[in-house]
Structure 1
Amino acid sequence: MAAVEASRDQRLRGVLVLVGQAVAVAGAYYLAGRLGLVRELVVEGAVFTPVWPPSGVAVAALLYFGLRVWPGIALGVFLVMLSITTDLQPAALGTVVGSTAAPVCAFLMLRAVGFRPSLSRLRDGLALVFLGALGAMLISATAGAGLLVLTDKIAADDFWPVWLGWWVGDAMGVLIVTPTLILLHRIRLPVRLSRWPEALILGLTTCFLVPLAAYSTLSMLYLVYPLLIWAALRFQLAGSMLCALFTSVVATIAATDGAGSFRGLTHVEVMVKLQAFNGSMALTALLLSAVITEQQNTRRSVELACQELVEVLEHLTAGDAPQGRGQADDGPDRFG
């Protein structure tokens, strides 16, 4: 009887944990959605965001909690839609399904190729880019833009511009927000930063140079790339993704305000220029940091192997049998 009650309590505890995780994911999705809607672009009568943070939140949640939190993503999508308009049509269900299916498919494809959230290998970065972002987000963009056409919210001729804006916005959310959340999940306090003076200089330089490049009418956005390379070379994922996140926010604000390099452009031109910049910047930051991290891990493995080889050679030179790493000396032979 006691065993039955213990099993029942364990199942109840598991259900409560699952519900709590789903509610937390829904809340995070909703907050990210409200944050993303602060800056909007209107293309062919459709409103979208250049970077849609909830898509990155959803993929990160699935990577760490698993498929069991997908109801939280669906609830978050519904809450975001409800915050935009209270007059929800039956077709809105299709948007909920598409926006939920996209991160779920991203998770399934990433899991199928052995993706590691640490992003310590180039293949992990490539998988996140081409499967998690560019590939899976085709689902949400196609469902969303298609439903707008079917419900006569936009004309059929406007499908592709709206589809492109939707797709790139969702993909940018995965490329920028998901690695940032992965980074935050890996942080352990207290943080020990051995190169804090260099990090401080990099941060101050970024805070000065990025707004200057974004708001300058001379179109100097290319000045950001040396900062990304510096951050990736010296601080890997932590440096490159934080730099990319800050740059994306500043560029998005400048674009939606029609300032700097985006002054005098039409909404479609602003969309294309901003998303091309955000996409190339995120790809540079993510893939370069993954390559450098993989090279450093390979070098450490080679150094460890060389160290073990030196120890073996020292034992052989001394005429002793080499002992494996981690094996203790058992002392003299008890039969000797």
Structure 2
Amino acid sequence: MAPVVGTRELSRPAVVALQTLAIAACYFAAGRLGLMRRLTVEGAVFTPIWPPSGVAVAALLILGIRAGLGIALGALLVVLSLSSFSSIQFSAVGIVAGNTAAPVCAWFLLRQVRFRPDLSRLRDGLALVFLGALASMTISATMDVGLLVVTDKLAPGDFWPVWLAWWVGDAMGVLIVTPVLLMLYAIRAPVGMARWKEVIILLVGACVLVPLATHSTISMLFLVYPLLIWAALRFELPGSVLCALFASVMATVAATDEVGPFARLSHTEVMVKLQAFNGSMALTALLLSAVITEQRNTRRSVERACQELVQVLEHLTAGNPPPGPGPPPAAGGDGRG
């Protein structure tokens, strides 16, 4: 017995270390991916969607508070990739702290309201939007942009425009990336062959309509919403969040390239238009799929209750007691000694 206990005690720190390194690697990869597309507002460079914030919140919801160390390590690696180790200053350390504190705050708030990672209730979608994204990401935006002002890297008059861009980018990362990761973590068995035909039609439609809507010189971003509603109605959360992710990526590419509906706009106008589109689309995907899933779960519960009631009535009409727990039959024979 002693060797078994010793192996478990040794393996647990190793597992935690591997999880920490995996989270740090995913955070760093998401950060480098997000930095590929940038916008400039008031001279400050920011990303319209900051995927690491979504990775961090998902890791905390799946693994708990022990994921915090991996998040901090990943944030430090992102900062190191942008500057040499010798040039790291107080502001960089503060940015790492802010990018770690915001997801931890999101995890704590979601835990207080008994958030379910499967997003099967409307209240879960609302909690992720308002607590996990909009409220918690104010911490990272305030700390990061405030440190830039304190260290004279940003003019005080530019605080609010840059803060808004930073906050929305972090919030979009949570709204778009976190549901996808939670869905992949709890992925179910593949759908039947009959539904694969509809999946293929939906994919073809997305590959045609989304690039057209995001790159056409005519403003046709509204074409994405019927596709999003179709995905939510037929495939619930997996369909809606994947469709929203693809549309958001294509819109971000068009905005940073300043083509399609984002052409001939100022940088501030591009930021406002892109974030308004991403935010409304993410809200539609999350809340609509949550409502549909909740209604279908309620319907299944009612159907099960009706089936149980029918079984009880059948036993009563047949003169038999309804199935269920009851006293055991009396032991013995016909009563003769």
Shorter-chain TM-score bucket reads over 0.9
1:113-151 Cα deviation digits (max 9, x unpaired): 000000000011011000001111010000111011111
Q: What's the secondary structure of 1:91's corresponding residue?
A: helix
Partner Cα separation in structure 2 for residue 288 and residue 334 of structure 1: 61
Q: C-alpha displacement at 1:93, in angstroms?
A: 1.1
SS at match of 1:195: helix
Output the CA distance in 1 between the equivalents of 2:69 and 2:333. 67
Structure 1 position 231 matched with structure 2 position 227: no
Preserved CA contact (<8 Å) 1:44 1:154: no
Partner of 2:220: 220
Shift of 1:193: 5.4
1:35 aligned to 33, 36, 43, which one? 33
TM-superposition CA deviations, 1:176-228 (whole Å, max 9, x none): 00000111112245554541111111110111001111111111101111111
Percent identical residues: 66
Q: CA deviation at 1:73?
A: 0.2
- Which of 71, 74, 80 is equivalent to 1:82? 80
1:214, 1:260 within 8 Å by CA — same for their partners in 2?
yes
Any gaps of 5 or more consecutive residues in structure 1?
none
User: CA offsets per residue over residues 129-176 of structure 1, 9 Å max, x none?
Assistant: 000011110100001110111111111010011101110000000000
Query: Does the Cα contact within 8 Å between 2:91 and 2:144 map onto a contact in 1?
Result: no
How much does 1:43 deviate?
1.0
What TM-score do you get using the length of structure 2 for normalisation? 0.95
1:70 match: 68
Q: Give the superposition deviation at 1:91.
A: 2.0
- Does 1:319 pair with 2:316? no
Rounded Cα–Cα distance in structure 2 between residues aligned with 1:121 and 1:43: 37
Aligned to 1:167: 167
Is 2:14 aligned against 1:20?
no
Distance 1:330 1:159, change over 3 A: same
> How far 1:9 moved relative to its partner?
3.3
Structure 2 distance, partners of 1:312, 1:191, is 34
Equivalence map 1:96-175=2 (5 Å): 96-175=96-175
Could you say if the C-alpha distance between residues 153 and 185 of structure 1 is closer, same or farther in structure 2, counting changes exceeding 3 Å? same
Cα distance change of structure 1 residues 66 and 335 upon mapping to structure 2, 3 Å threshold: farther
Mapped to 1, the partners of 2:171 and 2:226 lie a distance apart of 24
Match of 1:295 in 2: 295
Instruction: Report the count of equivalent residues.
Output: 332
Q: What RMSD, in angstroms, separates the aligned Cα atoms of the two structures?
A: 1.8
Tell me the amino acid that sits aligned with residue 246 of structure 1: F
For the 8 Å contact 1:118–1:182, the answer to whether it is kept is yes
